[in-house]
Amino acid sequence: MSSTPFRRCLAVVLAAGEGTRMKSARPKALHEVGGRSMLGHVLASLGAAGAQDVAVVVGPGREDVAQAARRAAAQAEIFIQSERLGTAHAVLAARSALARGCDDLLVLFADTPLVTPATLARLRTALAEGAALVALGFEPADPTGYGRLLVEDGQLVAIREQKDATEAERKVGLCNAGLMALSGQHALALLEAIGNANAQGEFYLTDAVETARKAGLSASFVIADRDEVIGVNDRVQLAAAEAIFQRRMREAAMRDGATLIAPETVFFCVDTKLGRDVLVEPNVVFGPGCVIEDGALIHAFSHLEGAHVRAGASVGPYARLRPGADLGEGAKVGNFVEIKGSIIGAGAKISHLSYIGDALVGPEVNIGAGTITCNYDGFNKFKTEIGAGAFIGSNSSLVAPVKIGAGAFVGSGSVVTRDVAPDALALARGAQVEKPGWAQRFRAVNAARPRKR
């Protein structure tokens, strides 16, 4: 992807700040888009853009953010910005990482989660072509609040924050996305030359443009799609980022050969994988960890997480697959069925109204409507095993731990508490009693009495 494979790249991700406008107990960087924290998105893009070294700047006491950073990028070095004095000051919190040297320095914001590796690669390419600084510009529908890129003769001469801009500068539509690439050779000197004589009394990263030009270095910019650089400061913007992310995922799934009948009603996680000729009906939600293999059919109103649906299997409508649900090839899970922590063999059918938890269901098993695996006694969970080709009559309770042998039958309505041998018939219910003419006598006796209502 990168046209600059031999250049060493350090990425500094700014994740300090609680994000007060989120009104949340959670720091802003850990709010999620597509089931992954915004910080996680940024770290994934950096990795894909070839950044070998990663520094993450967090606020004081933010061990949760530090841990999330290490989980997403094992090599991430954590730096603490003890006072929030501006974006340049935040980058300098990682001074020791900068001092070690690099060819390319990328500065990213944890609250700008949708930037793509391709855009980061374009910033790096511009550095490789000789710029000391490359800003990322975009043209928002409403530029209010953003820094403006001031360009003369194609050269970037300054970035002016909204609060410091003149009337004329505020009319500029080309805005600063925030992220920036700097030549590793000059970065530290440029950042250290930045002062805080501005409307907010902050050390602005954006002032690196002017310090570069004063040092006789060239500053340039590249332009990004506005959807890529959406910044998240509140939950309305979080939902806007989610919508953009979902659109990307839907389009990628369709381009890779899945059919989504009503794409705008299907919701993905960042790691959802759909094979070719998968058909997804309207109103389906994929939580984290779903793999749907070729030719599988996901009917309307199904909810899946941590589920593996193998080739040609079908799910729903109205099915719920929970973590550890593994459906074999051609298996069928029908309406109002919940599966958790269970391997369902190829061609098995669980068509209606069942709960199957912690079970091993063999191939070609048929599980009748309303069957429940009773896997939990209030303290522990137990396993149910159902051998190949067994037939479980409707409305049975299989009280785990229990094994049903291959080819066995369980009579409808049974409460099975002991193992069933292969090819046997198990009946565990009250025997049917019949009293001839009883109903007729009952009616006759009652018709003769006064009724109590």
Q: Which parts of 197-226 interact with ligand UD1 (CB under 6 A)?
A: 204-206
- Coil, strand or helix at 108: strand
Q: Is 57 exposed, middle or buried (0-12, 13-18, 19+ CB in 10 A)?
A: buried
**Only segment of 47-55, 83-91, 267-275, 381-389 that touches ligand UD1 (CB under 6 A):** 83-91
Q: What is the DSSP letter of 100?
A: T
**Smallest separation (angstroms) from Mg ion to the CB of 160:** 16
> Is 79 a binder of ligand UD1 (CB under 6 A)?
no
What does the alpha-carbon distance between residue 17 and residue 187 come to, in Å, rounded to a whole number? 23
> Is 340 a binder of ligand UD1 (CB under 6 A)?
no
**Smallest separation (angstroms) from Mg ion to the CB of 237:** 9
Closest CB to ligand UD1 among 16 and 365?
16
Q: Among 225, 221, 34, which Cα is nearest to 118's? A: 225
Cα dihedral 163, 187, 13, 85 sign: negative
**Tokens representing 34?**
């597509």
Q: Which residue among 62, 89, 320, 403 contacts ligand UD1 (CB under 6 A)?
A: 89
Q: Which residue among 2, 4, 37, 81 contacts ligand UD1 (CB under 6 A)?
A: 81
Q: Which parts of 70-109 interact with Mg ion (CB under 5 A)?
A: none
342 is in the binding site of which of ligand UD1, Mg ion, none (Cβ under 5 to 8 A by kind)? none
What does the alpha-carbon distance between residue 78 and residue 68 come to, in Å, rounded to a whole number? 11
> Is 300 a binder of ligand UD1 (CB under 6 A)?
no
What does the alpha-carbon distance between residue 156 and residue 182 come to, in Å, rounded to a whole number? 14
Q: Which residue among 176, 220, 314, 371 contacts ligand UD1 (CB under 6 A)?
A: 176
Q: How many residues bind Mg ion (CB under 5 A)?
A: 1
> Is 16 a binder of ligand UD1 (CB under 6 A)?
yes
Catalytic status, residue 352: yes
**Tokens representing 401?**
């731990």
Closest CB to ligand UD1 among 87 and 302?
87
Q: How many residues bind ligand UD1 (CB under 6 A)?
A: 26
**Only segment of 174-182, 348-356, 368-376, 430-438 that touches ligand UD1 (CB under 6 A):** 174-182
Closest CB to ligand UD1 among 202 and 293?
202
Closest CB to Mg ion among 231 and 323?
231
Phi, psi dihedrals of residue 415, rounded to the nearest 5°: -110, 100
> Is 407 a binder of Mg ion (CB under 5 A)?
no
**Smallest separation (angstroms) from ligand UD1 to the CB of 122:** 18
Q: Are 29 and 111 in contact (CB under 8 A)?
A: yes
Q: Which residue among 14, 115, 331, 350 contacts ligand UD1 (CB under 6 A)?
A: 14
Inter-helix orientation angle 117-128/38-48, to 10°: 50
> Is 27 a binder of ligand UD1 (CB under 6 A)?
no
> Is 147 a binder of ligand UD1 (CB under 6 A)?
yes
Q: Which residue among 50, 86, 330, 387 contacts ligand UD1 (CB under 6 A)?
A: 86
- Considering the candidates 31, 186, 308, 352, report the single residue annotated as catalytic: 352
Closest CB to Mg ion among 231 and 363?
231
DSSP of 193-237: T----STT----GGGHHHHHHHTT--EEEEE--GGGG---SSHHH
**Smallest separation (angstroms) from ligand UD1 to the CB of 328:** 46
Give first-to-last CA distance, the chain, whole Å: 81
Say how far residue 106 (Cα) sits from the centre of its chain.
24
Q: Which residue among 117, 140, 231, 288 contacts Mg ion (CB under 5 A)?
A: 231
Closest CB to ligand UD1 among 87 and 116?
87
Q: Which residue among 49, 90, 92, 386 contacts ligand UD1 (CB under 6 A)?
A: 90
396 is in the binding site of which of Mg ion, ligand UD1, none (Cβ under 5 to 8 A by kind)? none
Q: Are 416 and 426 in contact (CB under 8 A)?
A: yes
Closest CB to ligand UD1 among 89 and 332?
89
What does the alpha-carbon distance between residue 339 and residue 323 come to, in Å, rounded to a whole number? 8
146 is in the binding site of which of Mg ion, ligand UD1, none (Cβ under 5 to 8 A by kind)? ligand UD1
> Is 111 a binder of ligand UD1 (CB under 6 A)?
yes
Name the β-bridge partners of 286.
304
Residue environment code for 254-286, b if the CB has 16+ CB neighbours within 10 A, otherwise e = eeeebebeebebbbbbeebbbbeebbbbebbbb
What does the alpha-carbon distance between residue 166 and residue 221 come to, in Å, rounded to a whole number? 21
Q: How far is CA 387 from CA 47, 112, 362, 366, 404, in A?
A: 46, 51, 5, 11, 6
Task: Please identify the residue of the shown chain whose CB is closest to the bound ligand UD1.
Answer: 147
Give the catalytic positions in this structure.
352
**Interface residue list for Mg ion (CB under 5 A):** 231
The residues binding ligand UD1 (CB under 6 A) are: 14, 16-17, 57, 81, 84-87, 89-90, 109-111, 146-147, 159, 161, 175-178, 204-206, 231
